[in-house]
Structure 1
């Protein structure tokens, strides 16, 4: 007998065997961290047959800053099926069940880092964030290790050191300040608890957080690991100190091409749209189609200005509403996160937007730029 259920907190550790079977690249140290820290408060949905777990999907809670509001969201990780039970639709069942459950919680969206875009595209996931790709070298182009970095000498007054637990409050305050000044619209909220978890996560992968200080003040931070050579991500640098790592002998190079990293699935559309604001006075109607969350299949009426946006909905009626613009949940995802131009969305989603729709929807301030770099 097949059962789809959400595990109780004390049952979450039962999924480790499946994780080890499917994600063989993950180390014991990382899994020890994950099943100690992340499963304290996450949600795990599984499919069981004969009392054994055959497939799972884990939802890790994050608070996301969306414009001026902080909202609850979930980061989907460890979507896995036992090899002998693949191609039975188990993953699709888990994706649909979690989407419907989180819709009921009025969650605007949840997100994941896909192993392959092709896996999640048919399930209404679309990219919302492409990350900068960074490399790091010494001033003479030499390869660096963190040990070499913290031993570097310079006369610029910049010091580099690895973060410790006592730094986490300052790290959270620093990151929030930098992201706010960069006018990032969507990001995972940072505080002491966030950086304490991140520090443990990085240490489980032979990494950590590097801090650049000058005149006793934090000027820049970056996340690193050394599992396979030195890799860095997410440098956050205070405005006016963009060369702080260079001065210390650590040359950060940003590649020209970004890497598509995070896909999202919209959930409660009324909650999502109610968090948005307009550039100018707008009046827009559209009929939404969502193949999974049927409650989203409604006529949406948006009216607002720079001060506020009012979102109303009602059942769409055949005949009466035939002339209203139709739009898919997929196209709406790309629009609200500003990931693609309207013409590109029309082409890729095979949808046609009226001139009036394009004019009015462009008055919405998209949730862009996005900055989500979490691994789990």
Structure 2
């Protein structure tokens, strides 16, 4: 039994395992293995000539408080059905997390099919999205034909990068950095599954875009970005005008969409935890956060997966200058690695984490200080693979 990077001679076996586990179309498989595997790492457990388990590490750049970090987004996690339940995936994940630590990464992320798989490895949810389900598209307003519509292709993909940067990268404290190459890959992925991207303009001003799949059974919106509510109203009207199906599903990260969805038995809006994260290197991770308040705090972090993280950290924040050092001083508070991520990404506030018993307080002055500090949870992450 061996663990490591897949050899080029075994890519066909990885493809076969992916097809067996995820049942993706041939067109999507061609896109993924012709495009994503040019830059990613595929880690496998191999016994004799058989691939037993695999994990794919797809590289992205994440912006955290104006700092750009390289991360690996975990996808394609799976084990041969005949070998499941034997602990291979646990060994895979443990080795993968150690590999990410040795690569110098501060964190990693994934979109789980089942969160229980990852709870025991120090992952926690960091981001939610809204899923809008509409049974009858006719409850939406009609489309106002005052906007210019443009199909996105390789020639105008740069316009999406500029719009994304203005709407997301410049306004969110945490988001995935996208460039033209990233949007081109997203377009290829959409096309492989019959999807499209539309840009919207008003008076030659780019006011939104729509990524979607339009089938007889469902109009499925993968991503919708807009400059303001007027643009959103128009895009929803456009969806109504072109949808082949009466049934719509819209994935969005802005709850403002509920202003335009009539309440009733023909619609529902669900807040769904979507992205999980995992701190890989505590020191590097803490340095990403310059908090306006001055403080000097000792934090005991429990991490029983990556032992190098299992320590006490003195975190000194003065005049938004961040210093992190390991110490033997008595900790002011204690928490585990997943709770630290929930707190600093603003997914759960400090007071609630204490009340939930996820943070142990040894210094009540620190408790009262951090109880009033609100972490910025303005996050946008919507990557699939």
Please indicate the TM-score interval, normalised by the length of the shorter structure.
Answer: 0.7 to 0.9
CA distance, structure 2, for counterparts of residue 153 and residue 110 of structure 1: 41
Q: How does 1:1-376 map to 2 (within 5 A)?
A: 2-8=1-7, 11-24=10-23, 26-135=24-133, 140-141=138-139, 154-155=144-145, 157-181=146-170, 183-226=171-214, 228-239=217-228, 241-243=230-232, 245-246=234-235, 249-250=238-239, 253-254=257-258, 256-314=269-327, 316=328, 321=330, 324-346=332-354, 348=356, 350-354=358-362, 355-361=364-370, 366=375, 368-376=377-385
Unaligned ranges ≥5, structure 1? 144-151
Once structures 1 and 2 are overlaid, which stretch shifts more, 216-225 or 237-246? 237-246
Query: 1:12: how far off?
Result: 3.8
Q: Deviations over 1:133-189 (max 9, x none)?
A: 24579983389xxxxxxxx9744x2123321111211101110111145x2111111
Unaligned ranges ≥5, structure 2? 241-249, 251-256, 259-267
Q: Deviations over 1:199-225 (max 9, x none)?
A: 000111111212111112211012212
What SS does structure 1 have at the residue aligned with 2:96?
helix
TM-score (norm 2): 0.85
C-alpha contact (below 8 Å) 2:292/2:320 kept by paired residues: no
CA distance, structure 2, for counterparts of residue 328 and residue 205 of structure 1: 40
Q: Deviations over 1:255-304 (max 9, x none)?
A: 54311100011101111111111121111111111111111112111112
- 1:158–1:184: structure 2 CA closer, same or farther, 3 Å change rule? same
- 1:188–1:13: structure 2 CA closer, same or farther, 3 Å change rule? farther
CA distance, structure 1, for counterparts of residue 144 and residue 346 of structure 2: 42
Once structures 1 and 2 are overlaid, which stretch shifts more, 194-203 or 302-311? 302-311
C-alpha contact (below 8 Å) 2:344/2:375 kept by paired residues: yes
TM-score (norm 1): 0.87
- 1:187–1:77: structure 2 CA closer, same or farther, 3 Å change rule? same
- 1:125–1:347: structure 2 CA closer, same or farther, 3 Å change rule? farther
What SS does structure 1 have at the residue aligned with 2:68?
strand
Question: Number of matched residues?
Answer: 359
What SS does structure 2 have at the residue aligned with 1:100?
helix
C-alpha contact (below 8 Å) 1:284/1:361 kept by paired residues: no
